[in-house]
Structure 1
Amino acid sequence: MNDNNTELPSVQRTSREELRELVRSQLQALLEQNNLKGAKALLVPVQPPDIAEAIEGLPETMQAIAFRLLSKEEAIEVYEYLDSSIQYALIEEFKRQDVLDIVGKMSPDDRARLFDELPAKVVKRILEQLSPQERQTTSLLLGYPPDSAGRMMTPQYIAVKENITVAQALDRIRKLAHVSEIIYYLYVTDASRHLMGTISLRDLVVSDPEQLLSEITRREPVFVSTETDRKEVARLIQRYDFLALPVVDSEHRLVGIITVDDVMDVVEAETTKDIYALGGVASGKENYFQTNIFTVARKRVVWLLILLITNTATSAVIRAREDILEQVVTLAAFIPLLIDTGGNVGAQSSTVVIRGLNINAIGEGKVWRTIGRETAAGSLLGIMLSLIVTIWAYFLAGNLLVAISVGVSLLAITFLASFAGSALPFLFDRLGFEPTLMSAPFITTAVDVLGVLIYLTVAQQLLGGAE
């Protein structure tokens, strides 16, 4: 007991990052010593997200042991924060009632998200052992499209009728708070559960206890339907600074709410997917350090093979212009400079456009304006860079025509790259492809091939004519 009292002050003085690493290392050391009592005491003051991270950092043989040290209430919270692969491993480890009790008490939206990650046979087995009410609720959520509002909503909310008083509404909050996902909003419905309006907890607290809810209800609430894409849900919650957003079905009946913590998960997942896609990497839901290295390589090889094959066009262009390269060998030295600059300019333009598309900052009426603006910016960049490169190329090669060829080519390439970088994301978006994934590889390849073609054509015209 004394050991625990001396440990805690030092733990509390550390930063959050240091705390997580300290808990993980101490937990592992205690488990290696088979000191289960000490390990359990160590986890008492630690927050559920930090416990989950500590368990994820343990060797696989210790993860189930550490999870068993938690009380049932703690286990339910910690389980929701664990990586899906570890959640599955714990289900396989415990098989029966231990984890089934935890899964049964998870919030419906978190349970549906877990089931998305598990094999179908495991989901079927767990569903069969849930209570009829939980089974029906979970099956309802799983029936909606994967990226829809219906899939990520929770049916745990507080609904009221507008003919009751503020005092009665507060009593209802007290009774249902323990089974509701959020209590900061009340949703006013009619007898058929049609959404009529919303009331915030703040409105209730500052209102007269005998006042009717109809007098303080905010009409025409912002809501989404069960089929709304999760990206649109995230945009609405961000736009209006909501803590939760009501979800209605096709008949405008209130069926659930989406809370801001779930939206944050969506934003993180979408951002991660976009970052992977910009690098031409297939995104995955698995934890990086828990993914087999061969799986990592397999997910990356697809686009690399595509680029490898398509970049043979660059080699074909060079072979077709071998005569000018043989005459002026110095030209070959500037090819990497030109195609790398073009690729960088194209990547900058595509990044601006893709980000604008993702946050709805670029509407239908701004497509050509955006392309024109980026192309103009690329032209200005080309003028500035080509002047510098012309001087630099003359200094290196000592040949004025070679220097002019490099400068003129760079101007043309930056113009082309900025146009392609801004136009291709719009084109792919219009065709129904993922702009993030399609733009980066295509822009790089197109600029490489056309850049070399432009450069060697310009050089052949200038130097060939001089010959």
Structure 2
Amino acid sequence: MNSPIHALAGVITEKFAAADPAAAARALESLATHEILLLIGPLKAQTIVACLNPMNPPKAAAVLRRLPLRQASYVLARLEVPQAARLMKEFSVPYRERISAALEPAFVKLLADASAYPPDSAGRLMNTDFVAVRTEAKLSALVERLKSLPRRKLPAACFVTGKDGELRGVIRTAELAFYTPQSVCGSVMSPAQPLNPQDGAEKAREAFVKAETDVLPVVNEKGVLLGVLAREELPSQPDKKPFWKRLAD
């Protein structure tokens, strides 16, 4: 007799999960944790991230706990910040301490602060899956790093930081071809228009228009780069037309 695993094994593949992570998450949620682990074992890390982001937090936390610690910390650090914060709350205290030790201290603090950010704020909507390089790095190293990413994960912009993670500037990926490989990132970067985690959606929309970009960095009070916010992640604007006008349309 076919088990749920046998029925889904031919469906939940790398291609399916990457193409429709929400559907994959729903299918996985219907299974026992050990069955989910059998299915996601062969998947790439970024596909596991895509599946866990929309998954019910208790189920996602149960799956993450059973991954090797190094893999679990890698995946957790690339989840959307609100989801990662929810998963941290689901972990037992001993496991939370173990995985926190494997994460960057700044990220652990970010997750602790995330629940305090207002709804629809940059802090709630941002993600931490971005490419950042130090000011002294050569462009050749950045290009090699980008080559290792899947085409669909190629960022529109890469961010330049100082030694303590403070945001210094931005390099648009499309402009890399105009510079020599030996150029230093700090010498070719452009000024960046950052958001604060508490900034609301309306302020973020204004910043996107002003900066003429589709992705903006989010920094804390010390200017340290926390994450990035994509324009597409902003909630849709309510229709402000008068009721009679909407009826006429």
The TM-score normalised by the length of structure 1 is 0.40
Say which one has the larger Rg.
Answer: 1
Paired position in structure 2 for 1:264: 232
Structure 1 residue 226: Cα displacement: 3.4
Q: Are the structure 2 counterparts of residues 75 and 53 from structure 1 closer, same or farther at C-alpha, using a change threshold of 3 Å?
A: farther
SS in 2 for 1:43: coil
- 1:149 equivalenced with 2:117 (yes/no): no
1:250 to 221, 230, 241: 221
The one-letter amino acid of 2:75's match is M
Paired position in structure 1 for 2:108: 139
The one-letter amino acid of 1:187's match is F
Q: Are the structure 2 counterparts of residues 36 and 61 from structure 1 closer, same or farther at C-alpha, using a change threshold of 3 Å?
A: closer
1:187 to 143, 159, 163: 159
For residues 95 and 204 of structure 1, the distance between their equivalents in structure 2, rounded to whole angstroms, comes to 37
**Structure 1 alignment gaps of length 5 or more:** 1-31, 275-350, 354-373, 379-467
The answer to whether the 8 A contact 2:162-2:168 is kept is: yes
Percentage of pairs with the same residue = 14
The answer to whether the 8 A contact 1:188-1:195 is kept is: yes
For residues 224 and 61 of structure 2, the distance between their equivalents in structure 1, rounded to whole angstroms, comes to 33
- 1:120 equivalenced with 2:89 (yes/no): yes
Question: How far does the alpha carbon of each residue in 1:127-170 deviate from its partner, in whole angstroms, 9 at most, with x for none?
Answer: 22315241624422122433343453427532332x66xxx212
Structure 1 residue 223: Cα displacement: 1.4
Structure 1 residue 107: Cα displacement: 5.1
**Structure 2 alignment gaps of length 5 or more:** none
SS in 2 for 1:129: helix
2:58 to 88, 94, 98: 88
Q: Are the structure 2 counterparts of residues 48 and 60 from structure 1 closer, same or farther at C-alpha, using a change threshold of 3 Å?
A: same
Structure 1 residue 247: Cα displacement: 2.3
Paired position in structure 1 for 2:133: 159
SS in 2 for 1:225: coil
Count of residue pairs brought into register by the alignment: 237
- 1:205 equivalenced with 2:177 (yes/no): yes
Greater helix share, structure number = 1
The answer to whether the 8 A contact 2:110-2:226 is kept is: no
- 1:224 equivalenced with 2:195 (yes/no): yes
Paired position in structure 2 for 1:129: 98
SS in 1 for 2:193: coil
The one-letter amino acid of 1:246's match is P
RMSD: 4.3
* Equivalences for residues 351-390 of structure 1 within 5 A: 352=240
The TM-score normalised by the length of structure 2 is 0.67
- 1:50 equivalenced with 2:24 (yes/no): no
Paired position in structure 1 for 2:35: 65
Q: Once superposed, which parts of structure 1, at least 4 consecutive aligned residues long, lie more than 6 Å away?
A: none
For residues 35 and 188 of structure 1, the distance between their equivalents in structure 2, rounded to whole angstroms, comes to 47
